[in-house]
Amino acid sequence: MLDNKTIKEMPKIELHCHLDGSLSIDAIRQMAKNENIQLPEKDEDLKVNIHAPQETHSLLDYLACFDYVLPLLQTKENLELAAYDVAKQAADENVKYIEIRFAPMHHAKKDLNIIEVTKAICKGFEQAEADFDIKVRGLICGLRHESVDTLMTLLNIFAEEDENLISDYIVGFDLAGDEENFPPKLFTPLLEKVKQKGVNLTLHAGECGCAQNIFDSIELGASRIGHGVAIHENPDEFSFLKEKKITFEMAPTSNFQTKAIESLELYPFKELFDAGVAVTINTDNRTVSNTNLVKEYCRIRDWYDFTIADFLKVNINAVEGSFITDIEKESLLDKILLEYNQLG
Ligand SMILES: O=c1[nH]cnc2c1ncn2[C@@H]1O[C@H](CO)[C@@H](O)[C@H]1O
Ligand SMILES: [Zn+2]
């Protein structure tokens, strides 16, 4: 069986990681200091607030855990620090390319507008790229409980053509939050606009037991699906998903925590992989799920006895599904192939 050291050394690509769910304890403490906000002194006490319990009752329970850090994420300085911090953690896990997603509206509760929020986060990405061997891009999350009219304003971020930092770093759009009460079809007018603008689309879907949300999301233009766990109900559709080259962004720890799936026997990762569907491995939320990408790879190894070649395939899937240009994909692929060839 593959050892942990080799897994740590493997070059990795991560497509599904939330900024607000992935802050290190050091960064949280620094941000609180910047804002004069008191936190519990002991890390043990702080962790109770920032990690979701191993067993939450539902996705909504899990989502409640994000509230704690949001008051810290309302200034340019802290947003830049947060973006840098998450990219740094990923670089430490030998992630070579990461797409970090965030909901601008979560961070525009005080003085900043959504453009200022986005710019500050992109600055953090830029600094991380300068300091570490990692390429970082950002995705904009719309929150499903917001009205379509409100969410439409997020598309202004993609109109900032003369704003180089934003157009260089922001590569796609997503809908996150309460999938059960706000299924994809509600957002048809919004997603039509996303399509018209030629913005890449990934959607959280099939995290609440409803496989139809996956098919609706694809119909509405998503080339990638966040989690997609409910697809286990529809094995007959795997060939359709393969043909359509739909990328599944799965996150083992999170998927069990949110009750997206009840048992390992039902978890569709391996069936999708064997059917040639483009599955990928992600953290979702390093802090809320108390994980990192090395731990997620170890889980997959333990469950399915994955080999280096299997992990390479998963990473090729991730490169192909990423929202960078074909030329960038080629050079990223060359880079990771070189490192894989030097392993074990
Ligand atoms: O697994 C998930 N499913 C749905 N929404 C999520 C998940 N993880 C995080 N968020 C939501 O995305 C927002 C922006 O990062 C977070 O604040 C949280 O509400
Ligand atoms: Zn997510």
Q: What is the pLDDT of residue 163?
A: 63
Tell me 52's DSSP state.
Answer: P
DSSP state of 66: G
What residues act catalytically?
Answer: 207
What 3-state class would DSSP assign to 176? strand
Which pLDDT score is estimated for 255? 96
Q: Who's near 93: CB < 8 A, 6+ residues apart?
A: 8, 12, 292, 293, 294
Q: Which atom of ligand 1 is nearest to the CA of 258?
A: 1
Q: How far is CA 142 from CA 125, 163, 276, in A?
A: 20, 21, 30
∠ Cα 256 257 260 (to 5°):
55
Which ligand 1 atom sits nearest the alpha carbon of residue 103? 14
100 pocket-lining for ligand 1 (C-beta < 6 Å): no
Q: Count the helices and strands in the chain (H runs, E runs).
A: 16, 8
Distance from residue 284's CA to the centre of ligand 2 (Å): 5
Q: What is the pLDDT of residue 344?
A: 67
Take atom 1 of ligand 1 and give the residue whose Cα is closest: 284
Element (DSSP H or E) covering residue 85:
helix 76-92
Domains of the chain, residue spans: 4-342
pLDDT of residue 54: 78
What whole-number distance in Å separates Cα of residue 132 and Cα of residue 1? 30
What pLDDT is recorded for position 70?
98
Tell me what pLDDT residue 58 has.
87
Q: Is 16 annotated as a binding residue?
A: yes
Å from CA of 19 to ligand 1 middle: 9
In CATH, the number for domain 4-342 is: 3.20.20.140
Ligand 1 pocket residue status of 18, Cβ below 6 Å:
yes
Give the CA dihedral 93, 99, 100, 106, nearest 10 degrees. -170
Query: DSSP string spanning 308-339?
Result: HHHHHHHHHHHHHHSSS-HHHHHHHHHHHHHH
Rounded average pLDDT per 10-residue block, the chain, 344 residues = 96 98 98 97 96 86 94 98 99 98 98 97 98 98 98 93 84 97 98 97 96 98 98 96 98 94 96 98 98 98 98 98 98 97 85
What confidence score (pLDDT) does residue 161 get?
Answer: 67
Ligand 1 within 6 A of 141 CB?
yes
Is 144 touching ligand 1 by the criterion CB < 6 Å?
A: no
